[in-house]
Amino acid sequence: MTEKNTNFRQSAGRTVIYGAILLLLLMVYVFQETVTRSRNTINVADIGDSATQIQIDTPEGTLVLQGGPESWTVGDKAYPGDIQLVDELISTVGSLGDVDTISRRGGYSGFGLDEEQQRTLEITYGQDETLTLSFGNSAAAGNALYARINGSREVVLLPASLDRWITVDPSSFRDHLMLEVPESSVESLEISAPECDPVNLRQKISDKGDPGWEVLSGDEPVSSVTEEAVDRLFQELSMLEADAFIESEPETEIVASLKVKLSNKSEKTISIRHSEDEGAYILEVSGNPYLFTLSEWNVRRLLLGRDEYFR
């Protein structure tokens, strides 16, 4: 056999092998496309930013959020809502797209989707259109929940991450930001407490011309208060957020008060009271009707870390 014939046969063999590989890849591709296209799915409407009402129903009760892109209220008492949080909920639902159907038959109780068990999220949007998601048990197959869409017969799988939104606790959607005072807007600040001399923070300019604060008790500097303690105080004032809300008027004593004078000539007062919960205090901010709790760690930062306020 000549060398030329040998090379020809080797080349032909390689061609057959390559052809077989290509044919196999083509078959796999066709199979995957067939399976993908034959999936049974339901499309979840993209509600965009046109939502005007969100109603959540569980066996424990009902919670209604009302508003629009710029503002939301929560519950019967129309608490101010957390706009970013509500927008995140709407965006999450609106981006679901096509979801897989796993059953087209009855027998919803096994999925936790009968009337007594299921929880629903109903969003009103557009021209009085509604999208209703009914949630059941966690799916055995993975990180998903059994659900139904707009009362359809089919059971679908929705991401388990949606479960965090299905709550009728108003505090889950309330705006927790109770005060926002940038350091640059503060003219002076006074901390007062029973049986303690008032402490004042006043603006000062250093020998190098840098702005700063002096901490005084009367006319005497309070040497025990560091610059770091002052920085921590203003960090708290820049974004004072509630840990939890208090519905009833407290009967506990005032621990201390902060009176903040602003450069626009307005004032904000923060009253701090003892709480029945260990490690927490009750706060009230002037001009804000809602009482809230804050951890002792945060309160200490507000009070310059001075132990005399906690004895």
Tens-digit pLDDT profile for residues 78-115 = 999 999 999 999 999 999 999 998 865 658 888 999 88
The mean pLDDT of the chain is 88
Task: Quick: pLDDT tens for 140-159.
Answer: 767 899 999 998 888 999 99
Mean pLDDT for 4-22 is 60
Least confident stretch, 25-39, 194-208, 215-229: 25-39
CB of 223 within 8 A of CB of 229?
Answer: no
Per DSSP, the three-state class of 236 is helix
Residues 6+ apart with CB under 8 A from 55: 62, 63, 64, 65, 120, 121, 122, 123, 124
Neighbours of 53 (CB within 10 A): 16
pLDDT at residue 311 greater than cutoff 60: yes
pLDDT at residue 15 greater than cutoff 60: yes
CA nearest neighbour of 111 among 84, 91, 139, 89: 139
Instruction: Name the phi and psi angles at 135, rounded to 5.
Output: -110, 140
Mean pLDDT for 9-16 is 60
Q: Which fold has domain 41-172?
A: Immunoglobulin-like (2.60.40)
Instruction: Supply the pLDDT for residue 53.
Output: 97
pLDDT band, residue 205 (cuts 50/70/90): confident
Instruction: Name the phi and psi angles at 163, rounded to 5.
Output: -60, -30
Instruction: Supply the pLDDT for residue 6.
Output: 53
Instruction: Supply the pLDDT for residue 27.
Output: 64
Q: What percent of the chain has pLDDT over 70?
A: 87
Between the alpha carbon of residue 133 and those of residues 44, 51, 146, 148, 155, the distances in Å are 9, 15, 10, 6, 11
CA nearest neighbour of 293 among 284, 306, 302, 304: 284
Task: Quick: pLDDT tens for 53-62.
Answer: 999 999 999 9
pLDDT at residue 189 greater than cutoff 80: yes
Q: What percent of the chain has pLDDT over 90?
A: 66
pLDDT band, residue 241 (cuts 50/70/90): very high
Q: Would you kindly state where each structural domain of the chain is located, as residue ranges? A: 41-172, 177-310
CA nearest neighbour of 75 among 173, 164, 165, 175: 173
Task: Quick: pLDDT tens for 220-240.
Answer: 999 889 999 999 999 999 999
Spatial distance between the Cα atoms of 222 and 225, rounded to a whole number of angstroms:
6
pLDDT band, residue 116 (cuts 50/70/90): confident
pLDDT at residue 123 greater than cutoff 90: yes
Instruction: Supply the pLDDT for residue 69.
Output: 82
Name the more confident of 178 and 249: 178
Instruction: Supply the pLDDT for residue 34.
Output: 41
Q: List helix spans (H) across the chain.
A: 3-37, 83-94, 227-238, 296-302
Spatial distance between the Cα atoms of 45 and 97, rounded to a whole number of angstroms:
7
DSSP 140: T
Q: Which CATH architecture has domain 177-310?
A: Sandwich (2.60)
DSSP 109: G
Instruction: Supply the pLDDT for residue 30.
Output: 45
Instruction: Supply the pLDDT for residue 35.
Output: 42
